[in-house]
Structure 1
């Protein structure tokens, strides 16, 4: 099937590609996007293979795609896009919440469940705009977690420390803990710029949440919320140096 294009007057607006194999859902999503004044051009297609052809021609600022489609799925489309030199941000639009973790591992900027509400779609467009404004951490700042079979999102800024669980990690916040499918070494690398540092072979701590450092008989611990966490000897000096640098004027962003 050939793609269809609708153009709005603003030259500064976003050019988006919508992909969904179900025609009613495709038409409704395109209609909602055209109502948003931040959207300038909407191109639609009912399959991911055609979407790739459109994307290879360039001129697409964001992709709004379903996940479960015949042939190439939305997740597979996103994986191909991740190999582009400058991939456009991807928003997944789906009736299923069981792919949220996979979606965010592919750096999707948002994950919107059907039926799509106009206000929720507007939030997804806002995230796309932030991405193009230079804030490529939008997706990383929202962590998908499973709660009673429902996928919810928690801000990374609420995570106080992270505990290793084999190939998984447990995120601890002031309100509880959540198990996610990511090893501690991966989070250590990805979250370093957000102030997360290793204090033990099985622990990462968020420096902004450290309220106290205790030294007793050469043993170092940190207080995070209501928890006192042990710091291994090999990480003690590095942690103290980082905390001192953050305490200096202009040093908070240096980790």
Structure 2
């Protein structure tokens, strides 16, 4: 059996022993996971990660004494081929930080088996994409709605509108304001089918239903909304659309 075909090897990290034991138990009940290590804090986790043997993903608590889960994830993010990170926490208010660190998922305690299974599925998806040299097929985006953290997939987002240091994500069911700049999203999402069309807009190319070039002015229709395309972005947009997989010139 090749490494790609083998099951997942994971590391569970939590400074509270009962929570760590429960997380390890739930992970062990998933047939896709064939090896589980545990660590009672970030320092112990770093030692485990430095030992021989593959670790595909770290299921990580956030609030821990000393080096926090966010600190540890930031350290891992700087490593080449670092393990994928899934945050497992009782606190909703760190979701945006998790997004910035490219976490695969953000699971809230008390952990449900079905929710954890979805996180494992996303880890498998990311591992498979990395092994093939592909980009991750999708990305989880945490948003706040009436004091509750919800999770969108990047593919659900039709276009993004700039709001200073914030950005408004527009989907088929509404919009959500997130604390991240349009420039940051442009840098992160351009390779995933998004294009800057204006200083105020970033659009998902596959969500464009109509493009109009008229007397030097360009507009696109996305989800029924007509958006202006600036002159400086019009040529690049045309080239991106012509080269979009499944499209014909």
- Structure 1 position 51 matched with structure 2 position 49: no
CA offsets 1:200-243 (integer angstroms, 9 cap, x no match) = 11111211111112233322211112211111112222222322
2:166 maps to what in 1? 168
Q: 2-side partners of 1:14 and 1:239: how far apart?
A: 40
TM-score (normalizing by structure 2):
0.89
2:100 maps to what in 1? 105
Q: Quote the offset at 1:27 in angstroms.
A: 0.8
How does 1:80-95 map onto structure 2 within 5 Å?
Answer: 80-95=75-90
1:206 maps to what in 2? 204
Match of 2:9 among 15, 22, 27: 15
Aligned residue for 2:92, secondary structure, equals: coil
CA offsets 1:60-119 (integer angstroms, 9 cap, x no match) = 221111110111111111111112222111111111111111112111111111111111
- Structure 1 position 40 matched with structure 2 position 39: no
Contact map agreement 2:167 2:180 (CA 8 A) in 1? yes
How does 1:146-165 map onto structure 2 within 5 Å?
Answer: 146-165=144-163
Contact map agreement 2:125 2:136 (CA 8 A) in 1? no
Match of 1:191 among 171, 189, 193: 189
CA 164–58 in structure 1, closer or farther in 2 if over 3 Å, else same:
farther
CA 35–245 in structure 1, closer or farther in 2 if over 3 Å, else same:
closer
- Structure 1 position 137 matched with structure 2 position 132: no
Q: 1-side partners of 2:90 and 2:34: how far apart?
A: 26
Q: Which has the larger radius of gyration?
A: 1
Q: 1-side partners of 2:32 and 2:153: how far apart?
A: 25
Q: Which runs of 5+ in 2 are unaligned?
A: none
Q: Quote the offset at 1:251 in angstroms.
A: 5.5
Q: 2-side partners of 1:240 and 1:13: how far apart?
A: 43
Q: 2-side partners of 1:141 and 1:232: how far apart?
A: 28
Q: Quote the offset at 1:153 in angstroms.
A: 1.0
Q: Quote the offset at 1:49 in angstroms.
A: 0.5
How many corresponding residue pairs?
239
Q: 1-side partners of 2:181 and 2:136: how far apart?
A: 20
Q: Which runs of 5+ in 1 are unaligned?
A: 1-10
CA 220–65 in structure 1, closer or farther in 2 if over 3 Å, else same:
same
- Structure 1 position 114 matched with structure 2 position 109: yes
CA 61–225 in structure 1, closer or farther in 2 if over 3 Å, else same:
closer
